[in-house]
Amino acid sequence: MRIPFGTITVTKESRALINEALDTCKLSSGKLVKSFEAKFAHLVGAKEAVALSTGTDADILALAVLHDFGAKRNDEVIIPALSFVATGNAVLHAGFKPVFVDIERHTLNIDPKKIERAITPRTRAIMPVHLMGKPADMDAINRIARRHKLYVIEDAAEAHGAVYKGKNVGTLGDMAAYSLYIAHIITTIEGGIVTTDRADFAEVLRSLRSHGRACKCKVCVLNMGNTYCGKRFKYGEGSDIRFVFERIGYSCKMNELEAAVGIGSMTNYKRIIAKRRKNLLSMIEKFRKFEPWLFTIKEEKHEKIGPHAFAIIVGEKASFTRNELGMYLEKNGIETRHLFSSMPTQCPGFAYLGHKLGAFPNAEYMGNNGLHIGVHQELGPAHVNYFIRTVEKFFKEKGIKI
């Protein structure tokens, strides 16, 4: 049996929309992107959603919005030390300095008790990451942010379907950035999207994604197929609003074909997330037998974990390494991924910031001892049981009684 890490479902609806777009030759951002944005905002429970070309762009632009609201270049953004490297990269690309805070081992998320000591007069925002779909401690984070007048931007890349104290992830801060990459629950192949309740933030996001243009209406009549726009020459005769640039921007629009895939993905959302949650919760329950040699995150009463993937952490008393387990799983057809790294101390690209190994012990532990595997919708009870049996055989070969 094989357990691939991820999958993508391109529905009949998506295929029909793609063919329609190809037939009309309207392929850049247009009516399908607008439809996808509206559907995503409704699903999350946010007032606005702005679609982008990648999840990393979603992080970058959500942060870059802050330049319109008082932030300066090289101001600071607090992020967890453990995340996919895109989180740290985004802070830098948005013109800020990342300030790293260690995580809690049992949640994989930023440790709220360590945030306040990282705040300086140059701090502008906190970007918690809901890693592996487990919601961060947003009550504590928002209290700190209010006390210090900071923005909160959720990195919800892996948190589709996550719920915290009855509220959807994506509605718990000022903005939230999602990835729509292939392996994620809602996918546009390579996309991203930012949700917010603030119309002024959304307006700046629409400008930023298109080079900083002054042209930033929620519905662009030109992109929707109309031939006339009453605002096009509002800056005066001979001045086209599409070539008036109000801010330093980016080029990261979603196209119609990607949006078509996303619309179909959302049509199947309830079925997909129900199946993935069933796989995840079954794995969590069956995995208990491997403690303390192996452990995973738990779902608390106040939350629903977004079923992105299944985390596997090698315990301190284990007589084997992460790589030994990972290679065994791979040889038995179970595809694995490392559980990321401590960005400031285990990713060479951040070495210039000067952080020393040992400064973020919990994040570094995960960088050395963490794996994750898929829980996607093409898996079922037989795959879950095969995974558990494979780990049991690994333990047996290592002489470990469970």
Q: What's the rounded Cα separation, in Å, for the pair 171 and 174?
A: 8
Q: What's the rounded Cα separation, in Å, for the pair 197 and 345?
A: 35
Cβ 290 vs Cβ 99: under 8 Å: no
Say what the pLDDT of residue 226 is: 67
Say what the pLDDT of residue 231 is: 75
Return the bridge partners of 155, or none.
129, 177
CA distances from 284 to 213, 219, 309 (A): 47, 44, 11
Closest CA to 379 of 297, 311, 284, 279: 279
Cβ 374 vs Cβ 338: under 8 Å: no
* Dihedral Cα 17, 19, 22, 26, nearest 10 deg: -20
The token duo for 139 is 């009550």
Lookup result for tokens 């079923």: 307
What's the CA angle centered on 3, arms 264 and 319, to 5 degrees?
A: 135
Say what the pLDDT of residue 225 is: 65
Which amino acid belongs to residue 57?
Answer: D
Element (H, E) at 168: strand 167-168
Chain Cα centroid distance, residue 41? 16
* Dihedral Cα 47, 49, 55, 57, nearest 10 deg: -110
Please give the sequence-ordered ranges of beta strands (E in DSSP) within 255-400, or none if there are none: 294-295, 303-304, 309-314, 337-338, 341-342, 370-374
Cβ 310 vs Cβ 372: under 8 Å: yes
pLDDT in tens, 375-400: 999 999 999 999 999 999 999 999 99
Pairing of strands 97-101, 76-80: parallel
Domain ranges of the chain: 12-267, 269-397
Say what the pLDDT of residue 66 is: 98
Q: What's the rounded Cα separation, in Å, for the pair 211 and 187?
A: 25
Fold (topology level) of 269-397: Aspartate Aminotransferase, domain 1 (3.90.1150)
Q: Is 213 helix (H, G, I), strand (E, B) or coil?
A: strand
Q: What's the rounded Cα separation, in Å, for the pair 400 and 62?
A: 48
Say what the pLDDT of residue 385 is: 98
pLDDT in tens, 255-306: 999 999 999 999 999 999 999 999 999 999 999 999 999 999 999 999 999 9
Cβ 343 vs Cβ 366: under 8 Å: no
Alpha helices in 130-255 (DSSP H): 138-148, 199-208
User: Top-level CATH class of 12-267?
Assistant: alpha beta
Specify the pTM.
Answer: 0.94
Say what the pLDDT of residue 242 is: 79
Residues of the chain where predicted confidence (pLDDT) is lower than 50: none
The token duo for 89 is 């990269």
What's the CA angle centered on 137, arms 188 and 287, to 5 degrees?
A: 75
Chain Cα centroid distance, residue 263? 18
166: left (phi over 0), alpha (psi -120 to 50) or beta: left
The token duo for 78 is 């607090």
DSSP 105-132: TTT-SB-GGGTGGG--TTEEEE--B-GG
Return the bridge partners of 40, or none.
none
